[in-house]
A and B are shown apart, each in its own frame.
Chain A
Amino acid sequence: MSSAQPPARQLVPLLLALVFVALVAISHTIGPQPDAETRVLESACRLLLDNTTEGRQALVGSIWRPPVPFLLRLPLVRYLADEALASRIVSVAFGLATLGLLYRIGGHWNLGRLRLPLLGALALNPLFVHETMNGSSRTTVAYLTLLAAQGLARWVDRRSLQGLIYAGFACAFMIGTSPDLLPWVAALQILILCDLLMRSARRGQREAALILGLLPAAYALGVWCLMNWLILGDPFYFVRSMFSAESRVAAPIALASITWLHKLAGGLCGLALLVGFAKRNRALAYVAAAGLCLLLLMPVMARSQLPWDFRQIELCLTVLTVLAAAQAAAAAGGRLSIERTAWAWAPVSLALAISWSPHATAHPADAHSAAALPGIRAHVLHRSPYAKVFVCGYDSFRLLRAGAGPLFTHVLDFNLGQLKNDYFGHDLYVLIHRPRGRSATDSVHWKHDRIFTLGTDNTLYDRDWGDWRLFEIIQARR
């Protein structure tokens, strides 16, 4: 059988490849500053490629720095020396994949040309564009969110096993990509459970569907625990920070983060939910409910005072709103009816709203960290030629981008006694970042409560460099 594709269609992959390369080139040359986390990810990847313990600890050691973003960048970091290029490739790829998936979904739902405003609502959305170009992992999560919600829609609509599988695996990868969507993943699983309970099913079918839907996510969590046990000796090491007072106090998130922007998205989702109920369209109702769940979880998450990435949640909420609008447009009758057209154009208002929102400004990257390094080096070497500085936490990857060198050492699993034994005879120092945002979740802070402000019994305050504070470790004289 010959593939009788029209010539224009055969050019689509080539065209997409060109767009991809062009976007990567643009983002790398004139694009926004790389996200602060990007530096952490890429530096940790280099350590992982060097087969170091710190690299492996970084891969699995914190729920706030989940492993999938590391693994996605790893093969690229190996071959691309330019800073943030690997991350930009990943973020552009997932940004395009999100648009591509939305386009395909629109095709499955017979939206025809109405797909264009829906795509525009994302492609012209400053938030989405910024995250696509700055090398962050947020577009990866956006893609997974879309995949999971679409899977849910297919499952509830047509009992599509494929939909359930996609939803299950998207949830699993979301757990490994962003902790910020963990509560939403749980909500999605509850929605699947609700759907199963409300439907008639053959004997054992509910249990089987539940296993298929839940297993990937449960397995992902199980593997994470196992890796923590193997690498760090504690299966729950990666979640310890969630129960630390230091992480909570320092979290800059408040209810004020929930703006009218979210309310607009919530309004659209709420309307879509009502339409879904009115039309007895299960897929629409569930997709809209998934969007609303995310919105409703935001105040709960904010109250927990953990360092959730609300920018990530905003992006996912935008994606879910666009999907709900697409589903509502599909549910509306008539090829170009007013209702259908209105739904297709509704998410564009979100893009416009975000354009005017102060939230659209970039998160500043930590430009001062690296600048502090020569000062610290000079200071410490002036004190002693046998000095050793332990740079604590994931921020150490941002500070020591080009590798630790003989003077500085990354420390993730901070153990003072062990360090003293390992480096007996050296003058030892600890460099700690101010516990702010996700820096507060580093193990040094939950292992040694208020170490930044008070130090410990064995440390002596030395000096500050911006947000970095140097302590000398007190030892018996040589």
Chain B
Amino acid sequence: MTVDPLELSHRKPHLSASVPLTTVQKLLMIVFSAAAIALLITHPWPTARAFILFATLFYVVFTLYKIMLVRCSLRSGAELHISPEQCAALSEDELPVYSIMVPLYREPESVGHLVTALEALDYPAHKKDVQLLLEEDDDLTREAVAQLTLPAGFHVTLVPESHPRTKPKACNVGLAAATGSYLVIYDAEDRPEPDQLRKAVAAFKEVAPDVICLQSRLNFYNPHQNLLTRIFAAEYSAWFDLSLPGLSAIDSVIPLGGTSNHFVTEKLRELMGWDAYNVTEDCDLGIRICRAGYRCRMLDTTTWEEACSRISFWIPQRTRWFKGYIQTYLVHMRNPYRLLRDMGPVRFLHLQALIGGVVFCVLINPLFWTLVTLWFFFRLSVLATLFPGLVFAAGMGCLFLGNFVLLYIGAVACYRRGYFDLVKYAILAPVYWVLMSYSGWRAFLQFFSDPFKWEKTQHGLFEDTPEITS
């Protein structure tokens, strides 16, 4: 099969981030910035008040949206639940070939654990099509793999050296060679629950034919390593155990998580795989699935990952995620009318909140923290003029109630996940939000300076990798 890992950008450039900003978007951005600056100079107070009104309304809506998602996540059927009996009932003949793709880059230390974890998957070895996607020039990982005796069904796929050097490009190479009816992506440090593939097969049999992707829940096997991993675990639990199931429950667009997405291979090929230029190709693919009229659902199974335990690695990882969100948002908003037509008004609004809203939130948070600090410590009366009557009340509501609700959601997620000892750490989330805003701004600036840069997350910092059972 001819491999074109950049097929999407060649055949459907309007859906690819290969061009980060179109000419129209650049023009709009310039006009908007110029208008904002002009207004700030000529009418500083009304402009500032209008912005604060808009931001406050946004905060109110965003907080209510989060609460709604959490409520929806509690509905029965928010996730596809497959019982062990249903898994066991699948005979070997019923199990199709399952492609497992693991892109690896400079991760020689992870290879051994990875092979063990994939071997432990409860699926017939001859029906596993495991591809280790290695970059051609990554001698270290290639050497580490060469030293192992790979089990049956495992093979190495080399990704030719070319621009851009991204995980989605490697995945596209793997997709072309995949032989399975279904396909899943794992990262090097992932430890999926052993029955995950069987659950996915059973779930695909249960759902409607337009469901072409199942997202497993992600969580960490090292949540207790330090404060950062504790709060990170709270955040991940809130996202994968509450927000995404909430979206799944209301049949909305799901921004896929980086790994453990199970696809119907044929449909994924139809969608031309991943956008090789997008640094959050998973999120983008979730939206493209929705735009193409297909659906994603959440699957009640967990893949355990390693939480980034150092701030110096966490910030680049988060920067990449936010940059990817910016890319994704701008790609799909190139033609808002078409997006609206493809997704329908409700999912369109979901996308605005989930992708645009999150980025907007982390970018404007520092401004409001500064205003609050000035008010707390200096009681600047000028601030009162920025928050007239109702805006003041709404702002207070967001500051004291909205923020509390968001951190409380993290605590609830920890409790549901059984991380009882992390509940108290979830309350420290505001400290973490500062890091998020820093990363958000870093991502924003990097989007203009180096849009395709893939800041690789360093894993293997946690030695005590546990055995994972169902």
Contacts and interface: CB of A to CB of B under 8 A. Distances in A.
A203 interface: yes
Interface stretch (B143-151, B155-163, B321-329, B413-421): B413-421
Contact of B408 (A71, A216, A227): A216
Contacts, number: 69
B412 A207 contact: no
Given A205-B420, A212-B423, A216-B408, A162 B389 contact: no
A202 B420 contact: yes
Contacts of B408: 212, 215-216
Contacts of B390: 49, 74-75, 78
Nearest to B387: A51
B415 A212 contact: yes
A409 to B, nearest CB: 18
A48 B418 CA distance: 44
A48 B408 CA distance: 29
Given A48-B389, A78-B390, A207-B424, A71 B397 contact: yes
Main secondary structure of the interface of A (DSSP, over half): helix
Interface in A223-261: 223, 227, 230
Given A51-B388, A74-B393, A215 B427 contact: yes
Contacts of A165: 412
Contacts of B379: 230
A101 interface: no
* Contact residues on B (Cβ < 8 Å of other chain), bracket: 20 to 34
A202 B423 CA distance: 14
A467 interface: no
A49 B387 CA distance: 10
A48 B388 CA distance: 9
A339 B32 CA distance: 71
B412 A212 contact: yes
A184 B5 CA distance: 65
B19 interface: no
Interface string A200-222: 00111101110110011001000
A195 to B, nearest CB: 16
A462 interface: no
Interface in A42-89: 48-51, 56, 71, 74-75, 78
Q: Which of A75, A205, A211 has the most CB of B within 10 A?
A: A211
A219 B424 contact: no
A416 interface: no
A207 B420 contact: yes
B294 interface: no
Bin chain A's interface residue count: 20 to 34
Nearest to B251: A1
Given A202-B420, A203-B420, A223 B400 contact: yes
A161 interface: yes
B453 to A, nearest CB: 40
B392 A51 contact: yes
A212 B411 contact: yes
A209 B251 CA distance: 31
B433 interface: no
B384 to A, nearest CB: 6
Interface centre among B376, B384, B387, B400 (most CB of A within 10 A): B400
A208 B420 contact: yes
Contacts of A212: 408, 411-412, 415, 423
Contacts of B369: none
Contacts of A56: 392
B51 interface: no
Nearest to A223: B400
B384 A51 contact: yes
A223 B411 CA distance: 19
A415 B114 CA distance: 72
Max chain A C-beta neighbours (<10 A), residue from B74, B251, B375, B416 = B74
A204 B412 contact: no
A175 to B, nearest CB: 13
B404 interface: yes
Contacts of B251: 1
A219 B385 CA distance: 28
Contact of A208 (B74, B384, B421): B421
B420 A204 contact: yes
Given A71-B397, A161-B416, A219-B404, A211 B424 contact: yes
Nearest to A74: B393
B126 to A, nearest CB: 37
A203 B423 CA distance: 13
A475 B404 CA distance: 49
5 contacts: A51-B388, A162-B74, A208-B411, A208-B423, A208-B424
Interface of B: 74, 251, 375-376, 379, 384-385, 387-390, 392-393, 396-397, 400, 404, 408, 411-412, 414-416, 418, 420-421, 423-424, 427
